[in-house]
Amino acid sequence: MNILGIESSCDETAAAVVRDGRYILSNVIATQIPFHEAYKGVVPEIASRKHTEWILPVVKQALDEAGLTMDGIDGIAAVSRPGLMGSLLVGLTFAKTLAWAAGKPFIAVNHMLGHLYAAHLEERDSPATRIPEYPYLGLLVSGGHSIICRVSDFDDIEVLGATIDDAAGEAFDKVAKFYNLGYPGGVVIDRLAKNGDPRAASFPMPSLHKGKNTGDGDVHRGDTHRYDVSYSGLKTAAINQLDQFWNPEYERTPENLAAAFQETAVKILVSRLLRAAEDTGLTTIVAGGGVAANSRLRAMLAEHRELNCIFPPLRLCTDNGAMIAGVGFRHLERGDTSPWTETASARVTSFKRGLSRKNR
């Protein structure tokens, strides 16, 4: 079964064709980065206008590169949540219209489920060496979310921990913006950090941990923040209190700042993940979302030989249509389609802690 997946939740106009929820036949990503760069952040109005301009040629290219016409497509999936309202509406309306006109099933897909599914995909030129098996621990880290979860199926996710303030990606972006390091922040900090020394500053780790796990299988009892993360403290320390945390033996270069900030940002995620792995007994960790592209995060987790950490290829960490097509296939094989009345939503309430079962 071939699914056309459309992604337009933020600043990438993307479309892909995926066969049987696994094999990527095409994956076209038109990035709007140059149009938002001057503002050091995504401008929602510019984003939706670019999506409107680009969606048709991007979808056409995805079909061409897959060597298919609409006759060869068995369903059309598009992101409906979460994301920027105007951006979501462009892709969603386009997908519904195309599905209706071509007489194909339409499937609305949750963007976060897409990020988690990226590691289940195989690229033509670099086949995946390890496809994850359920259950596993999910690490979902993007510009808007930082989630540690127990994943039992592609849409069966129990959120164990999340950020209590800023998302990890948001912290990278804000620090990079404040110091004028470049855009997008995560990519730039990752690059600069390679030539810096993480010991240049000693930023504090957030202390959210109160009480401890009861060991009776209920991982939340007696400890509400055991797997939660926080980034506003690190962000404030890096932006407003640098003098206090800087090690005077080191030169204050963008490279050193990037390395020290990144080291703490990654440590925060890894420390919570290790707790979750120990408490749940799950040893496979699957990462997804833009921050999963971070080289230090990958290296720090790789040091834990007791864990089987699976990262999607870099191109599949950030927003793409293939992950949406993959999730769309999983819904469709169960016979789940979405109504023409399906609409977009900026937020996704089901990704609150512990509440989510069969997320959509």
Q: Site residues (CB under 6 A) for ligand KG4?
A: 10, 115, 142-144, 169, 172-173, 184-187, 190, 289-291, 293-294, 318-319
**Nearer to ligand KG4 by C-beta: 213 or 294?**
294
CA distance 318 to 144: 12
**Nearer to ligand KG4 by C-beta: 73 or 291?**
291
User: Applying CB under 5 A, which of residues 186, 319, 327, 353 lies at the interface with Zn ion?
Assistant: 319
279 is a contact residue toward Zn ion (CB under 5 A):
no
**Nearer to ligand KG4 by C-beta: 75 or 321?**
321
Distances from the Cα of 168 to the Cα of 108, 141, 161, 269, 295, angstroms: 26, 7, 13, 8, 14
The distance of closest approach from Cβ of residue 142 to Zn ion in the complex, given in angstroms and rounded to an integer, is: 4
The listed partner (Zn ion, ligand KG4, none) that binds 105, CB under 5 to 8 Å by sort, is none
The listed partner (Zn ion, ligand KG4, none) that binds 86, CB under 5 to 8 Å by sort, is none
The distance of closest approach from Cβ of residue 70 to Zn ion in the complex, given in angstroms and rounded to an integer, is: 27
Contact predicate 4/46, CB 8 Å: no
**Nearer to ligand KG4 by C-beta: 155 or 173?**
173
**Site mask for Zn ion (CB under 5 A), range 101-140, x = bound:** ----------------------------------------
CA distance 168 to 155: 23
CA distance 233 to 184: 21
The listed partner (Zn ion, ligand KG4, none) that binds 171, CB under 5 to 8 Å by sort, is none
CA distance 45 to 158: 34
**Nearer to ligand KG4 by C-beta: 201 or 292?**
292
Q: Contacts with Zn ion: how many residues (CB under 5 A)?
A: 2
DSSP 179: T
Q: Given the rule CB under 5 A, which of 214-222, 253-261, 308-316, 317-325 is the region that contacts Zn ion?
A: 317-325
Contact predicate 231/268, CB 8 Å: yes
Count of all residues that appear for the chain in the document? 360
The distance of closest approach from Cβ of residue 173 to ligand KG4 in the complex, given in angstroms and rounded to an integer, is: 5
CA distance 261 to 50: 33
End-to-end CA distance of the chain: 21
CA distance 291 to 74: 32
7 is a contact residue toward Zn ion (CB under 5 A):
no
Burial 280-318 (b: 16+ CB within 10 A, else e): bebebbbbbbbbbbbebbeebbeeeeebebbbbeeebbb
State the angle between helix axes of 85-102 and 44-66 in degrees (0 to 180), rounded to the nearest 10. Answer: 30
CA angle in degrees (0–180, nearest 5) for 163-283-81: 40
**Nearer to ligand KG4 by C-beta: 327 or 332?**
327
The distance of closest approach from Cβ of residue 189 to ligand KG4 in the complex, given in angstroms and rounded to an integer, is: 6
The listed partner (ligand KG4, Zn ion, none) that binds 187, CB under 5 to 8 Å by sort, is ligand KG4
**Nearer to ligand KG4 by C-beta: 105 or 144?**
144
The distance of closest approach from Cβ of residue 289 to Zn ion in the complex, given in angstroms and rounded to an integer, is: 6
**Nearer to Zn ion by C-beta: 162 or 257?**
162
Binding positions for Zn ion, rule: CB under 5 A: 142, 319
